[in-house]
Structure 1
């Protein structure tokens, strides 16, 4: 059986997975706990507990896949979970860049790109779901981009070990490319950012197609 056939079978299985209206499920509880970790992380970082804050952020980010895996393997996929899981990812991403802004370890342009991108996905996704009942599924490349960014944020929060930059650009807003020492995490951030922008284009195109189809159905 070819790889393409396997992917089609997996996609069909995901589409056929029953979705319930249950609220109190194990995956939803895990997502709620991850959500509660976000303010804890920001408070610890503000109070100067960098290592503990990094641990909390890494724990919240590292358990991203657990709730989805449990939901699929135990057949407890719920409508709330389909909304809560990606929303927690977006909020965790936003809190990560805000935390790095507070400690001054991430250029402002990267923070702006991440905030605009995730704000667009949050607001746009909520509007399409509430107005047209459209939900664009998260693709694997989007999950990889999120993972790269989370790993990069952990490295920048930990700020150790530092490695020398390439020294090919004399610009403070390009850490890693200038000569200043920087955390290894910046390279994961660059890779995740590039992949995130590519997947955003896919999400926008997919959403426009779904929106056009929904509007055609309404007109008919």
Structure 2
């Protein structure tokens, strides 16, 4: 397969990765697998009331995303499995965090719905484009930034300390931080991550349509 790059200032849209290998047993893939295995341990700690342990473990699982990516690039160990596994683990951590925080009453329902709808849409659309047309839209830096903000926010809500005063702008319970009730500092990172992720989703949609058109033209 060849790589198609549109003319002008349009972003790179890959029909496949020439640099990615078919290797499965790589260090980055092993790290991603360990991150995935930490999810049930994190849930066990949270629902047993160990907020500190849950927050530390979640931060560890989220933070090692940067490590496996750096190892893959610096050691030329980028694999096709890793390109799929890494974002899947990120999404698994994201979904697990929002649902568990909803169950313990620290995150409003609308945030969970927004995150789940976005992530499910990206996973389904990405899997279909890859399997049907061999099209993969590269992960944008802004997308990683949004994920980082969200993970920091989730860690803050898991710790649940210190509480900070609300702005008192509205009298709506499902807008923590904007109401007058004290809330975790992590909610502001979540709001920032949501704003960035909405913009990134729109960008992915535009780039995905362009990549599919290019793939169809080459078929």
- Whether the TM-score (by the shorter chain) exceeds 0.5 is yes
* Alignment of structure 1 residues 71-220 onto 2, 5 Å: 71-218=72-219
List gaps (5 residues or longer) in structure 1: 1-7
Q: Alpha-carbon deviation of 1:43?
A: 2.1
Q: Alpha-carbon deviation of 1:48?
A: 2.1
- SS of 1:72's equivalent in the other structure is helix
Q: Once the two structures are superposed, what CA deviation does each residue of 1:41-66 show, in whole Å capped at 9, x if it has no partner?
A: 11222222222111111100111111
Q: Once the two structures are superposed, what CA deviation does each residue of 1:62-93 show, in whole Å capped at 9, x if it has no partner?
A: 11111110011001111101111111111111
Whole-Å separation in 2 of the counterparts to 1:27 and 1:90: 17
Aligned to 2:35: 34
Aligned to 2:5: none
TM-score when scaled to structure 1? 0.90
Cα pair 1:168 1:178 within 8 Å, conserved:
yes
Whole-Å separation in 2 of the counterparts to 1:77 and 1:216: 28
Whole-Å separation in 2 of the counterparts to 1:91 and 1:102: 16
Q: Which has the higher helix share?
A: 1
Whole-Å separation in 1 of the counterparts to 2:117 and 2:150: 15
Q: Alpha-carbon deviation of 1:20?
A: 1.0
Cα pair 1:17 1:75 within 8 Å, conserved:
no
Task: Return closer, same or farther for 1:120/1:16 CA change in 2, 3 Å cut-off.
Answer: closer
Whole-Å separation in 2 of the counterparts to 1:152 and 1:99: 14
Task: Return closer, same or farther for 1:173/1:72 CA change in 2, 3 Å cut-off.
Answer: same
Whole-Å separation in 2 of the counterparts to 1:110 and 1:17: 38
Whole-Å separation in 1 of the counterparts to 2:43 and 2:124: 23
Q: Once the two structures are superposed, what CA deviation does each residue of 1:112-162 show, in whole Å capped at 9, x if it has no partner?
A: 000111111111111111111111110100000000000000001100000
Q: Give the root-mean-square deviation of aligned CA atoms.
A: 1.6
Whole-Å separation in 2 of the counterparts to 1:87 and 1:138: 12
- SS of 1:91's equivalent in the other structure is helix
Structure with the bigger RCO (C-alpha within 8 Å, sep 6+) is: 2
